[in-house]
Homo-oligomer: A and B are copies of this chain.
Amino acid sequence: MAIDNPNRVDERVRRSKQAVMAATFGLLTEAGLGGVSVDEVSRRSGVAKTTIYRHWPTRAALLLDACSQLTARPEAPDTGSVAGDLAALAESIADRLTGRWSSVLPSVIDAAERDPELAALHARLHDEMMAAFHEVVGRAQAKGELPKDVAASDLIGAIMGPLFYRRWFSREPLTREAARTIADRALRGL
């Protein structure tokens, strides 16, 4: 038989999957979720459509898999003060929102509005993104730097919200400076 060690993966499979994923990501950022077709992924990746369907049972599975790997959870900074930590986090989020991947997000949100599977994915990505915030806020509350009765989610919303707003509504430049100001005001608003 070909495979004795089940941990060993065929190099051909690895390459195919990787090429397909790369092409899918590219299409995703360019055309959004709705703009990804298996045929086009096949063309771009140079991987035969047949082969794609060998690894993903359906288009939805491919998209879901691709989106799942968008994970880029920010690490919780530790500058010594809540204000510093939150500013740093806001900067890091701002970076993400100016990056290439950010254009996929509206797509996901739109789809999540109706597709429960994508809604779950969106929730998961959101949770991962928020983990650092919760860590920072929890630490500050433990140190007495923040009152224990403020809901972390409110503070997070007061920072994330304006960032998103700038990116998708007012369309003002999303600089790191702007991010710091937003974090600062959110903290003062409590």
A110-B107 contact in complex given A157-B166, A162-B157, C-beta closer than 8 Å? yes
Secondary structure at the A interface, as helix, strand, loop or mixed, is helix
Docked Cα-Cα span, A170 to B155, in Å, equals 12
Q: How many copies does the complex hold?
A: 2
Q: Which of A157, A161, A165 has most chain B Cβ within 10 Å? A: A161
CB closest chain-B residue, reference A153: B170
Docked Cα-Cα span, A165 to B186, in Å, equals 14
Docked Cα-Cα span, A189 to B181, in Å, equals 10
Instruction: Say yes or no: A165 contacts B161, CB within 8 Å.
Output: yes
Docked Cα-Cα span, A106 to B189, in Å, equals 28
Instruction: Say yes or no: B103 contacts A113, CB within 8 Å.
Output: yes
Q: Which of A106, A186, A188 has most chain B Cβ within 10 Å? A: A106
Q: Supply 11 further A-B pairs (C-beta < 8 A) apart from A106-B110, A126-B169, A162-B162.
A: A103-B113, A103-B114, A106-B109, A106-B113, A107-B110, A126-B170, A158-B158, A161-B161, A164-B165, A184-B189, A186-B189
